[in-house]
């Protein structure tokens, strides 16, 4: 195969990360009016984040880890259509430039019939479950869970896929639904799920490979809604 003349030659170069250079974080789009949080991606673990809205900088927020799906940053006030939002990050060695501006839009531009129907994910839901995942949400809105018509968990300022803590834990044969709203515009409820008896014995959790210096571990093979001790 012939040499690609458009390729930048890197062989033999001593390319190293420069800790004094920090790229800006990424604001997950779209960003909708009435959102009370935004989702931030591609930041340094434990970075300090500034969010600027129409030229006004909020109090800084320290974040955790960008993986697996970013971090939800709470906002001082709900967003309005047309506002411009951007972000920057810093650590002990450097501060990034600002990210590109993201313009806030109405969710009805993309969902004229109202927010999409949330999905309980993963399913099924089990007796004694203490947490339920919900997907197909709009970032920054409100999601809640009902069991037999009674609210058992709520998150204001949710992410697209959001875990919701349940209190009290589910009983057997309860009818569970997820609900969502943004700007007082409610979605249809999720499909109804009936709580089941959990598997017995419970599955044995697994841990993905871990490395010296790591600050996160990924636990697998956990029964949906179970509590885990490390």
Nearest CA to 197 among 224, 157, 167?
A: 224
Distance between CA atoms of residues 119 and 104, nearest Å: 25
Confidence bin at 215 (pLDDT 50/70/90): confident
Average pLDDT over residues 195-199: 96
Interval 31-68: pLDDT, tens? 999 999 999 999 999 999 999 999 999 999 999 998 88
Q: Which two tokens stand for residue 205?
A: 């959790």
- Mean pLDDT, the chain, rounded, equals 93
Percentage with pLDDT > 70 across the chain: 91
What's the CATH number of domain 119-194, 2.60.40, 3.40.50, 1.10.101, 3.10.450?
A: 2.60.40
Q: Which two tokens stand for residue 150?
A: 């009674």
Average pLDDT over residues 73-96: 97
Confidence bin at 3 (pLDDT 50/70/90): low
Residue 10 has a pLDDT of 60
Distance between CA atoms of residues 212 and 223, nearest Å: 28
Q: Is 70 exceeded by the pLDDT of residue 152? A: yes
Confidence bin at 9 (pLDDT 50/70/90): low
pTM of the entire predicted model: 0.87
Q: Which two tokens stand for residue 92?
A: 């002990």
Average pLDDT over residues 1-22: 62
Domain boundaries, the chain: 26-105, 119-194
Q: Which two tokens stand for residue 139?
A: 């970032």
Nearest CA to 24 among 72, 86, 85, 88?
A: 88
Domains 26-105 and 119-194 share a fold: yes
Confidence bin at 17 (pLDDT 50/70/90): low
Region 26-105: CATH code: 2.60.40
Position with higher pLDDT, 80 vs 3: 80
First-to-last CA distance in the chain?
Answer: 52
Residue 18 has a pLDDT of 64
């Amino acid at each position: 195969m012939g040499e690609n003349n458009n390729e930048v030659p890197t062989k033999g170069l001593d390319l190293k990360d420069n800790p004094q250079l920090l790229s800006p974080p990424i604001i997950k789009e779209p960003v909708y009016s009435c959102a009370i949080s935004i989702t931030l991606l591609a930041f340094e673990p434990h970075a300090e984040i500034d969010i600027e809205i129409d030229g006004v900088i909020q109090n800084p927020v320290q974040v955790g880890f960008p993986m697996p799906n970013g971090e939800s940053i709470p906002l001082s006030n709900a967003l309005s259509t047309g506002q411009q939002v951007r972000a920057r990050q810093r650590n002990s060695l450097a501060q990034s430039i600002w990210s590109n501006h993201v313009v806030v839009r109405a969710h009805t531009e993309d969902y004229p019939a109202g927010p999409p129907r949330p999905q309980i994910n993963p399913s099924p839901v089990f007796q004694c479950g203490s947490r339920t995942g919900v997907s197909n949400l709009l970032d920054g809105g409100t999601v809640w869970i009902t069991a037999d018509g009674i609210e058992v968990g709520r998150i204001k300022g949710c992410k697209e896929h959001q875990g919701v803590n349940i209190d009290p834990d589910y009983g057997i044969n309860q009818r569970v639904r997820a609900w969502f709203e943004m700007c007082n515009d409610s979605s249809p409820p999720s499909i109804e799920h009936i709580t089941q008896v959990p598997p017995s014995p419970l599955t044995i959790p697994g841990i993905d490979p871990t490395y010296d210096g790591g600050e996160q571990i990924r636990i697998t093979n956990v029964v949906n809604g179970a509590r885990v001790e490390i």
